[in-house]
Amino acid sequence: MPGRFLFDVSGLLSWYAYFRHSSGIQRVTEHLLSSEPIQGYPHIEFVARALGSDVLYAVDRAVLNDLCDPRKRPSAIAKLRAIFAQSMRLGSLGRLRRELRYFHIPYVIGGALRLEAAVEALFSHRFPGTMAALRIVPAPSASDAFFNPGDFWCHDGYVGSIIEMRKRTGVRFVQLVHDLFAIDRPDWTHPQFGHVIAGEFKRLAPHVDGWLTTSRFVQAALAEYLVAQAVQQRAIDILPMGWRDQSQVTNADPDDAQQVRAKYGLSGKKYILHVGTVEPRKNLMSLIDALSELRKQNSAVIPYCVLVGRQGWRSDEFRKRLESTRFEDGTVMWLKDVSDRELTVLYRGAQFAVVPSTTEGWGLPIRESLAHGLPCIASRAGGMEEAGQDLAAYFDPDDADGLKAAMARWINDEAELQRVRSRLEIHFKSEAASLGWDAAGKTVLRAAFD
**Looking at residue 398, what is its pLDDT?**
87
pLDDT value of residue 256 = 80
Residues whose CB is less than 8 angstroms from the CB of residue 340 and which lie 6 or more positions away in sequence, other chains included: 21, 22, 70, 73
**In Å, how far from its chain's centre is CA 373?**
20
CATH 3.40.50.2000 fits 247-431, yes or no: yes
Burial of 327: CB neighbours in 10 Å, binned 0-12, 13-18, 19+: middle
Phi/psi of residue 148, nearest 5 degrees? -105, 125
Read off the DSSP letter of residue 415. H
CA distance 117 to 130: 6
According to DSSP H, which parts of 305-436 are helical?
A: 316-324, 326-330, 340-349, 364-371, 384-388, 400-412, 414-430
Q: Are 216 and 241 in contact (CB under 8 A)?
A: no
Helix, strand, or coil (residue 325): coil
Q: DSSP of 117-168, one letter per residue? A: HHHHHHHHTS-----PPPPBPPPP-TT-EEEE-S-TTSSTTHHHHHHHHHHH
pLDDT, one tens digit for every residue, the chain (450 residues)? 679 999 999 999 999 999 998 988 999 999 999 999 999 999 999 999 999 999 999 999 999 999 988 889 999 999 999 999 999 999 999 999 999 999 999 999 999 999 999 999 999 988 877 899 999 999 999 999 999 999 999 888 999 999 999 999 999 999 999 999 989 888 777 777 778 899 999 999 999 999 999 999 999 999 999 999 999 989 999 999 988 654 444 455 667 888 999 999 999 999 999 999 998 889 999 999 999 999 888 766 889 999 999 888 788 888 888 888 777 778 899 999 898 889 999 999 999 999 999 999 999 999 999 999 999 999 999 999 999 999 999 999 888 899 999 999 999 999 999 999 999 988 888 765 466 899 999 999 999 997
Residue type, 127: F
Termini Cα distance of the chain: 11
Rounded distance, CA 367 to CA 383, Å? 12
Whole-number Å distance between alpha carbons of 270 and 302: 8
pLDDT attached to residue 252: 55
Length of the chain: 450
| Domain residue limits, the chain | 5-242+439-449, 247-431
What is the rounded distance in angstroms from the CA atom of residue 180 to the CA atom of residue 177? 8
Report the distance separating Cα 391 and Cα 367, nearest Å.
Answer: 9
Give the count of alpha carbons within 13 A of 196, CB side only: 15
- pLDDT for 250 equals 47
pLDDT in the model for residue 299: 63
Category of 248 on φ-ψ map: left (φ > 0), alpha (ψ -120 to 50) or beta = alpha
Burial of 297 from C-beta contacts in 10 A (0-12 / 13-18 / 19+) = exposed
Alpha-helical runs (H) found in 23-72: 24-33, 36-40, 61-67
pTM of the model: 0.92
Q: Crossing angle of helices 400-412/414-430, nearest 10°?
A: 90
If we measure between CA atoms, which residue out of 434, 433, 440 comes closest to residue 38?
Answer: 440
